[in-house]
Amino acid sequence: MKSFIKALSFAAVFGLFATACETDPCKDVVCGDHGSCLEGVCNCETGYEKNTEGLCNTEIRAKFQGQWTVSDNCSQSGTASYTVSVTASTANILEVKITNFWGSFVNQGTATIDGNTINIARQEPDADQYFISGSGTINAAANSIAWNYNISDETGATPVVDVCTATWSK
């Protein structure tokens, strides 16, 4: 009986220590409306990033949205200044719509967001028959985007490509 009580006491103490060692690393972790905890670390859902409080509540594309003042430098069309508008697409959380790109495109279509990069895949021309493609990288602290893009006029026998760099500022 004595050995049974010792064994039972040992099992109880061992169980207490084993339970104390198995703490949930996510127990007190708050990840926000669009995040989940894994091994104590918050992972944001696709299309979201952590805000200043570390919560997954901010759409990645939010930093790209708004009115931008553009300064273009292009190989064919020279320099130009104008404004563009970037708005959220309703089709995908990683897409935005850009109006007045190159100072011309009325309904340019969509651009996709990947972290701090915005990409315009080659798009069908709008009413002016120009194709557009390129990418930009945002510097959120400076409220600017550095762009490299091409405008292609393929209406003639030989396509004309306008190679451009641009800085967008808020």
pLDDT in tens, 107-119: 667 899 999 999 9
Residue 10 in this model has a pLDDT that exceeds 60: no
Q: What's the pLDDT at 75? A: 97
Is residue 40 predicted with pLDDT exceeding 70? yes
Kindly state the greatest CA–CA separation across the chain. 102
Distance CA 87, CA 50 (A): 21
> Domains, the chain, ranges and CATH?
23-56 (no CATH), 61-169 (2.40.128.420)
The confidence band for 73, taking pLDDT boundaries of 50, 70 and 90, is: very high
Query: Tens digit of pLDDT for each residue in 150-167?
Result: 999 888 888 899 999 999
In Å, how far are 27, 59, 99, 152 from 163, measured between CA atoms? 53, 31, 19, 9
Q: What confidence tens digit (pLDDT) does each residue in 90-149 have? A: 999 999 999 998 888 766 678 999 999 999 998 877 677 888 999 999 998 999 999 999
